[in-house]
Amino acid sequence: MNRFAIAGAVAVSLAAATGRPGPPPPRGVRLIDLSWVQAEPLLDVSAIVVFPLGAGAIEHGQHLKLNADQRLANYLTSRVLLAAQVVVAPALTYHFYPAFVEYPGSTSLSLATARSLTVEAVRSIARSGPRRFYVLNTSLSTVQPLQQAADALVADGVLLQFTDIDAKLAAAARRIQQQPGGTHADEIETSMMLYIDAASVDMTKAVRDYNPPPSATGPFTRRRGAPGTYSPTGAFGDPTLATPEKGRELVETLVAGILDDLQRLRTAPLPAAMPALAPRPQSGARSSAAESESGWPDCSPGDERAIRNIGVAFTTHWANNDAERIARLWMKDGDIRHPDGTIERGVQIIRENRAQLFMQRAYQGTKHPVTL
């Protein structure tokens, strides 16, 4: 029997017991439905492990539930289970959603934490054997930490891919949308929810919200005149134009795109794992005759002073919450390698990540000494 036939056999047995034809048996399985003994043979190098990612609580206007993204992720996962031989891991319901934190009930992790959460969740399952992972992603802001996580996992010989929901829906959205623009709880998102879970939508509370016009950028805010995108309702677009028929076209397009991603992932070449770094020499050991008197190999006293000054500068700029000056300490294509294996590559990413941290009250006025 195929190792993915466990869930299918159960479905067939239930149908036989009731005398009624049941739904088609799923081709995939959920880890939460298995014991570790049942999971072990499924989690080999040929497996594709899917992590559903949908916010458990971020605002979606006055007409949609806080967990609209989670509902969408759950629906899409159910469709994937029916069509693809995958192992579905428990869902990720907290991630990077900084644009909505001003609205009560909305949750978000920092970019660095969202990245690390993804990396560590994948690594925990990769220990059992799988090397191909897919995040069934339902948001736009999560793409940045997901890409950073994918970059970090390459060194482990792990291939992580994820849904680019904007790219998947772009063509269908252009065909059907009537609103002049929108990005959140709008005609597009509301149509999708009407199709997959109409009972969770209250169209009597749907309001057209363009304050200011569709060219606005920045985090959403309920405070008129504050920086960002002013939205008293939490929506940005025209959800009053939404219909379940539009939602059907959008959702079916998205399902087809996700299944295509999974098929491509199944045959995609795996990255070569990087060898572990050699252990550092014991303190006091001399690696070469060229080592300087201070213990820095191949380094003149002047070079050493310049290097140590970088640490002083970093510490100073951090205390001043100066993301721009911190980023300038790196070359254009330089990177930061964190202890968990994640990598921030490039000056722009380093600048954006520090700026995101410094916006949080917990990091304001903190010190981060660096010793080189």
User: Residue 273 — very low, low, confident or very high, per pLDDT cuts 50/70/90?
Assistant: confident
Q: Compute CA 77 distance to the chain's CA centroid, rounded to the nearest angstrom.
A: 16
CA–CA separation, 322 and 372 (whole Å): 20
The per-residue pLDDT for range 279-316, each reduced to its tens digit, is 555 555 444 444 444 555 566 666 666 676 677 778 77
Sheet with 159-162: list strands edge to edge. Answer: 29-30, 87-88, 48-53, 132-137, 159-162
Residues of the chain with CATH 3.40.50.10310: 43-267
CA–CA separation, 44 and 219 (whole Å): 42
**CATH of the domain spanning 301-363:** 3.10.450.50
Residue 205 has pLDDT above 90, yes or no: yes
Query: Across all residues in the chain, what is the average pLDDT?
Result: 86
State both tokens at 143: 């793409």
Residue 209: what residue type? D
Average pLDDT of span 268-284: 70
Residue 15 has pLDDT above 60, yes or no: no
The predicted structure's pLDDT at residue 344 = 81
Residue found under tokens 């002073």 = 305
How is domain 43-267 classified at the architecture level of CATH? 3-Layer(aba) Sandwich (3.40)
SS3 label, residue 354: helix
The per-residue pLDDT for range 120-134, each reduced to its tens digit, is 999 999 999 999 999
- Closest C-alpha among 91, 121, 95, 92 to residue 108: 95
Residues of the chain with CATH 3.10.450.50: 301-363
82: number of Cβ within 10 Å: 14
CB-based burial, 234-249: b 16+ in 10 Å, e otherwise: bbbbbbbbbebebbeb
Do the strands 229-230 and 220-221 form a parallel or antiparallel pair, or are they unpaired? Answer: parallel
Containing 310, the helix (H) or strand (E) segment is helix 301-319
Side-chain-side CA neighbours of residue 158 (13 Å):
28
- pTM recorded for the entire structure: 0.74
Q: Using the 8-state DSSP alphabet, how is residue 28 labeled?
A: S
77: number of Cβ within 10 Å: 21
Contact (Cβ atoms closer than 8 angstroms) between residue 94 and residue 56: yes
CA–CA separation, 363 and 319 (whole Å): 9
First to last CA, the chain: 58
Phi, psi (degrees; rounded to nearest 5) at 226 = -80, 155
Distances in Å between the alpha carbon of 9 and those of 12, 16, 41, 95, 172? Answer: 5, 11, 17, 35, 37
